[in-house]
Amino acid sequence: MVVSTLYPTDFQMHLFHEGTFYHSYQLFGAHVFSENGRGVTRFCVWAPSARIVRLVGDFNNWNGTDYTFHRVNKEGIWMLILPENLEGSLYKYEIVTNDGMSLLKSDPYAFYSELRPNTASRVYRLDSYQWSDFKWQVKKEKKLSFSEPVIIYELHFGSWKKHANGEFLTYLEMADELIPYILDHGFTHVELLPLVEHPLDDSWGYQGTGYFSPTSRYGAPHELKYFIDQCHQNGIGVILDWVPGHFCKDAHGLYQFDGSHLYSYEHPNDRENDIWGTANFDLGKPEVQSFLISNALYWMENFHIDGFRLDAVANIIFWPNSNEEKPNLFGLDFLKKLNKVLIDNDPTVIIIAEDSTDWPQVTTPVDYDGLGFQYKWNMGWMNDILEYMETPSQNRNEVHQKITFSLLYAFSENFVLPFSHDEVVHGKKSLLNKMPGDYWQKFAQLRLLLGFMMAHPGKKLLFMGFEFGQFVEWKDKEQLDWPLFDFEMHEKVNVYVKELIKVYKRSKPLYELDHLQTGFEWIDVNNSDQSIFSFLRIGCDADDFLLIVCNFTEKKYSNYKVGVPNECKYREVFNSDQEQFGGSGHTNKKILKVEKRVFHGKPYTIEINIPPFGISILRPVKSRKERKGSGKEKVRSHASSRGER
């Protein structure tokens, strides 16, 4: 049966083979239509090296004899239209190669897949969900992330929490369980490890087979939409880990799809990714570009994803198996093309590069010769601060530069500061257990580390479990150690994290100018003997700033002198050593007065208590009475003039 209106147009095929068919998923894959009141199901696949393509499924007893595709063009687009509604049916493509081999392949554009270990695709309609996140979409357009607080909770869907019998929570159950938890802690976004269909649980989704297919481990696609919809209705952004560099080599997937290396590079040295046992996408092939860019838009348009964290960008920027760092021009051009298309489609989209290289202008717009990402993971900061924290406190004076070095390049890109899953797995220990010292010191240093992270320029990302001091590293086959909430210090560090996030979100100097040098100023950067650092974080209004003092040793100080830029009083608005957080209580409870004495190159000096392994955040304040329309008087604290500095 031929229904001409359902066949691809010459223009669509031209765009696909040109690498600019950015909605190719609307043509390829399985689609259900209504023609003259009857159900029709269309299948379309790209397989230029195939001699024959047949459709097999549960509707024909997996026998494709009478279900042979028609080749639409010489470039290898095949199509089959059946006069029946096959919604919900399982299917695969039987591809007979030029050398006579018969391959059974899942649909690269399938919208739903069979539950692993089975590997068939499932016919699924995309229009089965009604969204209710209009207010979120409007809010996003008004507030771009650069000048807003961003603190991301990175999450592995399958091990955050499980049922007593070890089974996964579903998308629907996670909406009920996770969203209140995120709201209670104050995270602005949740970042999900890849949810594309993948055969092996141990890959955490980073080795996918079904790029258009949300994994069926946790439910159906419309149930994932419900989860995202509920996140949006509660003011939570959703970022998806996405892997456009390499793919899984399982027999039913993209690898040698039609007998040729269709989706991957032809040359083995370019194709084979020995680190992960995967195959690298041929990012110079136009049809692969159409596939991948279309996939990103698919997640944005059909699942309302707010952004992507691109995995292993170094594997795209450079040829992976080169003995020297040889730029991959195909990969670089692809990244520019991808990012420009996504941002042109939705200027609010957040695109983050997990990039371990020193490639320049990663977060510079494409029109200004950059790669076009909004953010880049600051891997250098992460490695330096963890090395510093893992150094015994008495030796930290020897690695003083591990704290200071990041500020030499902190404004060269728009950075996200990451403590991700990669840092708490494979023997690396949890954040808490990385800290040296005794039990109390470990918790004190974790609080200090998190406080310093919030005060350092850059948006924030932390992997699940940090918020209550998970003691063992992440175990992807088990849920988080929720019973730790029964222990006092773990409960107190959770209280600390909640309060710290509140302080971060309500303090504009901590996020407004993350990307500009004017948002940061050292007060004392040279005190390596005591391992004490002091600096200012400054908001868009230059009169709005915070003074931060960090002590990276177990010694405490009273009447410690710090230079300040102006003549006013100071109030401590946060101290990690408060007793409610598990600290010793060495805080600054009273308003602090300044003395007109030059110190640290500043015209004024204050004396403060410095807590052991602690961070203090102070704000210059001045009280004034302000009459409101109601006639009631209200005392308000506000930043005073910073004066000459």
Active site residues: 311, 354
* Strand partners for 197: 210
Q: How far is CA 253 from CA 105, 257, 375, 467, 613, in A?
A: 6, 7, 31, 38, 51
Give me 445's structure tokens.
Answer: 């240093």
Q: Comparing C-alpha atoms, which of 446, 610, 644, 637 is closest to residue 546?
A: 637
User: Using CA atoms, how far apart are residues 179 and 156, in angstroms rounded to an integer?
Assistant: 14
Q: What is the 3-state secondary structure (H, E, C) of 399-432?
A: HCHHHHHHHHCCCCCCEEEEECHHHCCCCCCCHH
Closest CA to 441 of 433, 430, 450, 451: 433
Q: Are 150 and 512 in contact (CB under 8 A)?
A: no
**Cβ-contact 552, 532 below 8 angstroms:** yes
Exposure string for 578-598, b = 16+ CB within 10 A, e = fewer: beebbbeebbbeeebebeeee
- The closest alpha carbon to 192, from 163, 165, 159, 162, belongs to 159
Q: Is 614 in a helix, a strand, or coil?
A: strand
Strand partners, 343: none
Tokens of residue 333, six digits: 């051009």
CA distances to 3, 237, 548 from 453, rounded to whole Å, are 60, 21, 12
Helix (H) or strand (E) holding 103: strand 102-105
C-beta separation of 228 from 306 below 8 A: no
Structure tokens given for 300: 């944005």
Contacts of 3 (CB under 8 A, 6+ apart): 35, 40, 42, 81
